[in-house]
Every structure is written in C-alpha cells, then in structure tokens.
Amino acid sequence: MSSTPATRRTFDRPQKVSEQSLWSDPQWQFDGLRPGLRLSQLRFDWDFQLPDGSCFTAPCWSQWLHDAQTFLWSLRVDPPRGRRRLRAHSLVTVGHKLRVLICWMADEGMRGFGTLDRENAQRFLSVVAERITVRGNAVTANTRHAYANVVAALWLQRHKLADPPPDDPFDGERASVFSGFCGLAAERWPFTPDAIAVPLISKAIRLIGQPADDLIALRDQAASLYEERRARGLTRPSVRQPVLKLISAFKFTCLDGEDAPWHPPIIGTKQVRFLVDRIYEACFVVISYLVGARVSEILALEADCIEQHRSADATETFAYLRGRIFKTAADDAGQPHLWAAPQAVVRAIEVLEHLSAPLRQQAGRSQLWLAMQGHGIIDTRPTDVMTSSTLVSRLNSYFAPFVALPTDSEGSAWRLTTHQGRKTFARFVGKRDRTGLHALQHHFGHVTRIMTDRAYVGTDFDLDELVDAQTLEETRSALEELLTASRLGGKAGRMLSSRSRFRGRTRDGELTSYVDFLIEESGMRLGVCDWGYCVYRAESAACMGDERGPNPLWRTESTCMSCANFAVTDRHRPVWQARLDRNLALVADDRLDASSIALARTRIAECERVLSDLSATGEARAEDDGRKST
C-alpha cells in the first residue's frame, strides 16, 4: 500500500561539509582522519559517470544531485529515529552504494528518487542479489542488507527530499525480510577456531620474545653503520658492503628448549625488513587476540600506552592498555578507554615502541604503527600508519605462511581478518572450560581476573556483550553435556550423573527447556575451569570464591577434587591422564624427598579417582556413592 509522503521539512544546506570542502564542491572531502585511514577513504566524488556518458554533476541532473546530497548529509546530521549519526568513513561507504543505485535508476530511464516505487526498489535489490564479486562469488546477505538499508533510509528521510520515493519499499516489513539477512543467514565475522587460534597466538608470543630482541638489535646495528658511513660521504658500494657483511655475520639466538637458532643466517637489508615486518604482525596478533580491541583502536595506539593500576583490595597491580574507542564514541576524536593487558600484551607494546622509535623520531609522531615505505631498513620518504587492508594482506600473504598456520578442518588455508582477534578473545574469555587453550590459559586467566576486579570499569560495551553472549553459549553447551553424559567425575559430576533423567539421551527439546530453566530461573552458572567444569555456587566453593566466581589464587586441581561444585567429563580425560603420568614419573625419581613423593602420591590418587569415575558404569558409580541412579 502506497503512503503519501509527509510534508517536506526544510533542510538547511551547510556552506561547508568539512574544513576542506564546500557543499557545492564536486568532491566532498570529510574530516575525521585517524590512524589507519587514508584521505581517499574519507572522500566522496559526486562527479561520477552515468550509463549514458554524462556526469551526475551535469546541469540536467541538478535536482536529483541536490536530493542525493541532502540524503547523504542527513545521515550524518539528522539520521532516522533510532539510528546513529554516521561517521565520515561510513558515510562514504553509504555514498558508494547510493551511487550504484543512482546509476541503475538512470540506466532504467528514471530521473529522480520519486520514481523509486516499491516495485522498482525490489527490482534493484534483485539485481544486487545477482551480482558477482571480483572473486567470482555471489554477494553475501550482509551486502544485500546494506543496499536494502540505503533504500529503506531514502524512504525514512523522504520528508527532507524535494522528489522523495512514493512508497515504503518494504510495505512496513523489515528490510531483512527482503535482503535475506537474519541471525541464521548472516555471514558474521567468524572467530578463529581453537585448533588455529592457539598455535597462532602461541607462535606470535614466541616471536615477540627473544626473536624480536634479535631483530631490533640487528636492524639498529645495520642502520647505524649505514648512516655513519653515508655521513662520511663514501660511495654507495663502500656504504653497503660493510652493512651486508654485518647482516650475514649476525647469529640469531638459540631459544630455550630448542637445538638450533630460531632462524638461519640471512643476507641483505630486504631480509632484515621481511623479518621485522613479521614481528609487527606478531604484535598485532598478540594485542588483538589477548585484548579484544578493534583494529581501528589498535592502529591508533601511541607510545607509553601501558598504565599500572592497583586492584580493588590493593593486593595486586594490574596492567592496562590505554587507547581510544572510535566506533561508539560521540565524536571523531574517540572515547578514552583502558583494556586489561596480560604480560604478553605489555611485551608487545614494548617491542612496538622499540620497532617504531626511528620512524616516530623521523616523523615527529607518537603512533606505534607507523609503516616505512620501500623494502629496506632506511627510507627518508614520509611515513604513515598502515591501513587495516594492508594489515589483512600481510597477515595472510606473509605471516600465516611464516608461522606455518594450520589449515582448517577441511584442509584449506584459513583466512585471517583483523576482526577475528576480537571475536576469538570474547570466545576465550567467555569459555568456562579452558582445557583446550594449553599455554594460553595463564594469559586469559589474568585478563579474567582484571575484568572481574571491582576496580575495573570497562566502557567497551560491545565487547562486554560479545563476552556475555559467548559465556551464555558455553554455559548452555556445558550443561547439556553434563546432563546427558553417561560418565562423569568429580563430586558435582557424580551427583549430576546419579540424578539426571537425561543421562545417555540425545539432546532434544525437553533437555533444551530444562537447560533454559536452570539458566534463567535457578541462576545456575559455570565458573572458569582449566581441568573440568565448575557448577559454581559460592557457598560450597572450596576455593573460597565469592559472588564474582571462583578464586583463581586457590583454584587448583586438588582443591577442585574436594569441591562440591566440580564435574569432569570424558573430554577432560587427557588432562587428568597427563597429570597422572607426570606424577608417576615424579614418584619414580630417586632425587625427590619424602614430602614431595607424598604429594605426588596424593595427586596420583586424585587422578586415578577421576579416571575411574569416567570409566565406571552408571550403576557401579551409584553403588560407590551409596545411592541408586535414576
């Protein structure tokens, strides 16, 4: 059903749309430049060519041009109710989609938005849906939805236009009904699977250790020698040869537990630069995956951005990463924010400060992600912060092969994006069972302690929502596993196994409803655990936890074994088998004193009890607990 357009509301055109551009300019160059963006990403050109060969700025299109400019600018200064004012970068992105719409309409013989009725709007969206990307793929639901939102916004902003669309393009329905965008169909930014994320982060942490120190030392020595000889006015060969000799003679360090240096000898400044760039990428991986900041926030980091703050009870000092949030901030300057920073992130910032020191001095800037032009270790040309697209290209083309990134479950190369670190961070922090994180357990445990400290005040609410959603998903999955498992260990596990009516059943609607009840009505929740599940209740916590969760200082395998909250499933068997093997080896060591042997035997008994529980049948375990299974 068509709707009569609302009375047109006067829209005052500003003389200037930015410090650099007037309304009447054929190009709008917006303000809001920040690290990681280029001026071209904040520029929209109204002088584009239409299918008939004319330009949109030609006099014959003046009324349509005015409406298009009015519409785009209104999204920045007076958006539809319930929508955020668009930032300059987003405004340019919408402008590009608006240009596609205008070109299609002109090619169809239309001369203004007044001809964009419901039928034409849906024809346009059908054409968009049939487009093929440069990689030969169909456009995603996200892309279709973005175009649908532009069409919908034209209707919502119709009272600002001289020649507005005559119909609601979706007849009162949501745009997602026509774009196919919904919770199930949307191509969300993925997290990095554990089998890829754990080695990725572990190898990045390894690179920012001694390897980073080696390369910083080599680069500084080579650059210093080069500058010293060039200052003496020597010929180019006389400058280069000693530098190349120094590089080829450099010996990389043999890391602890390894039999050979971490990298073989190299020749030439290009190879030095290649390895230095890999350290930069390792720093990004560490910060992104262990902090959860967006790429725009990471690329805007400046020197001296680590702060130390006391915990609420003044017993510990926590490190924080100081930066700015741009996406949800009220202005282009960004909102100051502190992220919890484990030690690996503190180290990554230290490495970045050393790596960027020459560039910061040269440019007179404080950003840590300044990128040198060319392929050598010295370049006098202007430097700037790398863009997110450059970073994505480097991560996939160079860093992933350099660290031998594992393939995905189908044997294909996993494509890294700058957003995956944030999603994976939220997933890891939300994990209740961290037995699969191996060496990363310490880092995420530290982050959790900071984020749950009473002195912590986080303002990255989008990240909090990601963590909360992941925590809920983990809790639901864990409860379903605990209620249906045929074999469970631990005091809470034995109790659940004997009482659960779902034991041995497949997951069905009745189970789902019961889990909903446990989460929503009873308030049951899971605490973080590295060797099982913690069906957490503060009053029965052997680790002396509080309302925030288990106490990480007292939470050990032995403590959990005595706790009424502890449950173990078959997925945790390898953790307990490994602990048993370690302690059996200790008992066999003649060098251990009597007290150490006694402790090892206690741990052996704990492991054997858990493994016995996981191997026993339901009836046998019920008899052992003195009650019948139901």
- Answer yes or no: is pLDDT of 73 > 80: yes
Q: Both 494 and 609 in a single domain?
A: yes
Helix, strand, coil shares of the chain as percentages rounded to 5? 50, 10, 40
pLDDT tens digits, one per residue of 558-572? 898 989 989 988 888
Q: Which residue has the tokens 């034209």?
A: 154
Q: How confident is the model at residue 217 (pLDDT cuts 50, 70, 90)?
A: very high
Q: Both 278 and 173 in a single domain?
A: no
Q: How confident is the model at residue 1 (pLDDT cuts 50, 70, 90)?
A: very low
- Number of compact structural domains in the chain: 3
Q: Both 496 and 420 in a single domain?
A: no
| Inside any domain, residue 245 | no
Lowest-confidence region among 140-144, 186-190, 565-569: 186-190
- Answer yes or no: is pLDDT of 449 > 60: no
| Inside any domain, residue 510 | no
Q: Both 421 and 491 in a single domain?
A: no
Residues 6+ positions from 214 with CB-CB distance below 8 Å = 250, 252, 253, 262, 263
Q: How confident is the model at residue 622 (pLDDT cuts 50, 70, 90)?
A: very low
pLDDT value, residue 500? 78
CATH of the domain at 415: 1.10.443
Q: Both 535 and 417 in a single domain?
A: no
pLDDT value, residue 2? 42
pLDDT tens digits, one per residue of 240-252? 999 999 999 999 9
pLDDT value, residue 268? 92
| Inside any domain, residue 207 | no
| Inside any domain, residue 416 | yes
The predicted model gives 89-111 an average pLDDT of 96
Q: Both 293 and 363 in a single domain?
A: yes
Domain boundary at 141, 159, 179, which? 179
Q: Both 41 and 168 in a single domain?
A: yes
- Answer yes or no: is pLDDT of 620 > 80: no
| Inside any domain, residue 4 | no
Q: Are 45 and 27 in contact (CB under 8 A)?
A: yes
Q: Both 306 and 420 in a single domain?
A: yes
Comparing CA positions, the residue from 188, 207, 184, 203 lying closest to residue 426 is 188
CA dist 42 and 508 (Å) reads 51
| Inside any domain, residue 250 | no
Domain boundary at 179, 201, 234, which? 179
Q: Which residue has the higher pLDDT, 472 or 612?
A: 612
pLDDT tens digits, one per residue of 295-337? 999 999 999 999 998 877 677 788 889 999 887 777 778 888 8
Q: Both 124 and 38 in a single domain?
A: yes
Q: Both 278 and 405 in a single domain?
A: yes
Q: Both 154 and 281 in a single domain?
A: no
Q: Are 395 and 403 in contact (CB under 8 A)?
A: no
pTM of the model: 0.73
| Inside any domain, residue 36 | yes
pLDDT value, residue 539? 86
Q: Are 388 and 34 in contact (CB under 8 A)?
A: no
Which residue range is the domain that position 115 belongs to?
Answer: 27-179
Domain boundary at 427, 457, 475, which? 427
- Answer yes or no: is pLDDT of 621 > 70: no
Q: Both 57 and 159 in a single domain?
A: yes
Whole-number average pLDDT of the chain: 85
Residues 6+ positions from 156 with CB-CB distance below 8 Å = 80
Query: Cβ of 624: how many Cβ atoms within 10 Å?
Result: 12
| Inside any domain, residue 402 | yes
